[in-house]
A and B are shown apart, each in its own frame.
Chain A
Amino acid sequence: MIGLLGYDFMRNAFAAAGLVAVMSGLVGFFLVLRGQTFAGHALSHVGFTGATGAVLIGVSPLWGLVGVTVAGGVGMGLLGERLAGRDVAIGMVLATALGLGLLFLHFFTAYASQATALLFGNVFGVDRGTVWGLAGLCLLALAALGAIARPLLFATLQPELAEARGVSLRLVSVLFLALVGLCTAGCAQIVGVLLVFTLMVGPAAAAQRLTVRLGRGMALAVALALTEAWGGIVLAWFTDWPASFWITALSALAYSLAWALAWLADGRRPVPAAG
């Protein structure tokens, strides 16, 4: 086991995955609660364009990702309900974004491996500088979430009442989606833009199947995300299969187990009286 941490790239991988797991467990918890998981998915696609565009102009893809996903999140928040239910329009924008990203890559034929890394992640390729970048990102995201969590929860569960109490639904929504943008950019470093769902939504959704309590749910989401991310790295080390594959597999496994457990628990509980 010690051998695992004997290499620099392994230490970086564990650190990066740990940071991102904590952030995405918490942000994902609210994302699932708000029923906005599609937003996370959408932002990651747009982020791909940002990352490839950044490479094109000689900027680090991480900052390209961050810039575009945060801007995308703010935009989605501002459009708000006008965007809801416009599946086709959103889908078109996403497809266009991915296509544009592909075009940017086309100018960089030498960087085919970079494309794969962006799309599917390359946690073993994370260098020390990126770890520090992610640490900053994480800190920022957690601080922001800590600041808005209370009105965010209120606005999520009872928007009209929250509004009547003086919460600005739009402000909360914009701030949160900007946060989702940050988190998406972080996740993409580990599992790639196509698999962001696996860290952001999987653990949170599994946690919400297992507990009805808020604090426990958040803690569980973080614990699951950490287990999946680090477990994926360990399994990748021993099998030489891609870490992203293992992380998605563990995430799916955890979600299925959560379903099964919840189902069993439902079966054991006496059926409540009808009505």
Chain B
Amino acid sequence: MNAILLDGVTLRLGGRIVLDRISLEIADAEFVGVLGPNGAGKTTLMRAILGLLPLAAGRIAVHGQPVRRGNRLIGYMPQVRATTALRLSGHAFVAAAVEGDRWGLPRLDRAGRLAVDEALELVGARALARRPMVELSGGERQRLLLAQSLLGRPRLLLLDEPLISLDPHRQGEVVRLVRRLQRELGIAVLFSAHELNPLLGALDRVLYLGGGRASLGSVDEVITAPVLSRLYGAPIEVVRAGGRIFVMSGGQDMERDAHRHDHAGTRAGFGA
């Protein structure tokens, strides 16, 4: 069965069509990189799969079931922003997600403690989790967030920009870790990113979003001048050099540019 099925899906935000009549299928144990410029709809697509966004048209199914909020089959790592509670330990941070939707006191029972330990073990962060979040590097925090998304043994992982603000070396580490987990657990992963290159060795397929449209396929099928020119709505050149791929428009590297914009635009802390 497919992990994700989109059938003629249109997503609208504030009157603006973000994705327009998208149909695609993602297999049971597939690592899919989700790419596209700022505002292409990567986050919006993930939120729709989580059931957080009404569909303007079409149908989404996750493992054959229609989307609904609180689907335990899906693990989610939101796009990182500043959290205010950095003085707490990583363990407390991860543990907050265990049955966090139930009313009552935030106490972990035995099963809950085991689940947290197991998730931390998977990402190799058990020692790390004893330290306060403030003391951790970006890459270490990403590992804890990944552990949190793995709680409850999901069959599908939605990882929104796990590479943001990491240096190339750490980016490689995170990608390899996710790839290893994806294979070991036999699950499907949607992994959004601004740059294709850190993902190149790990991907099964690429989902490229732009201009309300989407293109899903192997790197060689999707990362081509005609496909990307259609998505960007502008002439695009694809340059391959030294095992890396550059998406250029009028001599500018599109993905690098997008990345830079994002740092300035990362949403500030959660309000009152």
Which residues of A line the B interface, CB within 8 A? 33-36, 39, 76-77, 79-81, 83-85, 146-151, 153-167, 173, 177, 208-209, 212-214, 217, 272, 275
Contact = CB atoms under 8 A, between A and B. Distances in A.
Contacts of A36: 272
A212 B88 contact: yes
B93 interface: yes
A5 to B, nearest CB: 33
A214 B106 contact: yes
A31 to B, nearest CB: 10
Given A149-B106, A161-B148, A164-B74, A154 B100 contact: yes
Given A149-B106, A151-B102, A160-B76, 6 more contacts: A39-B272, A150-B99, A151-B101, A164-B52, A167-B100, A214-B106
B97 interface: yes
B27 interface: no
Contacts of A167: 100-101
Given A164-B50, A208-B87, A212-B87, A153 B100 contact: yes
Given A85-B271, A151-B101, A165-B100, A158 B78 contact: yes
B97 A158 contact: yes
Contacts of B271: 80-81, 83-85
Contacts of B74: 164
A161 B102 contact: no
Interface of B: 47, 50-52, 69-70, 74, 76-79, 83-85, 87-89, 92-93, 95-97, 99-106, 130-132, 135, 137, 139, 148-149, 167, 169-170, 268-272
A212 B100 contact: no
Contacts of A163: 52, 69
A131 to B, nearest CB: 27
12 contacts: A35-B85, A150-B99, A154-B100, A154-B106, A157-B93, A158-B100, A164-B70, A166-B69, A166-B70, A209-B87, A213-B92, A275-B137
B146 to A, nearest CB: 12
A159 B101 contact: no
Given A149-B106, A167-B101, A157 B78 contact: no
A162 B101 contact: yes
B96 A157 contact: yes
Contacts of A84: 270-272
A81 B77 CA distance: 22
A167 B96 CA distance: 12
A207 B270 CA distance: 23
Contacts of A212: 87-89, 92, 130-132
A155 B51 CA distance: 17
A83 B137 contact: no
B56 to A, nearest CB: 20
Counting from the closest, the 7 A-B pairs by CB-CB distance are A84-B271, A154-B100, A35-B84, A166-B70, A160-B78, A212-B89, A81-B271
Nearest to B93: A157
Contact of B106 (A34, A150, A165): A150
B105 A146 contact: yes
Contact of A151 (B103, B137, B269): B103
Nearest to B46: A164
A24 to B, nearest CB: 18
Contacts of B83: 157-158
A148 B103 contact: yes
Given A81-B271, A150-B103, A275-B170, A165 B97 contact: yes
A34 B102 CA distance: 19
B88 A157 contact: yes
Contacts of B47: 164
Nearest to B87: A208
Contact of A154 (B52, B96, B167): B96
A213 B84 CA distance: 16
A157 B97 CA distance: 9
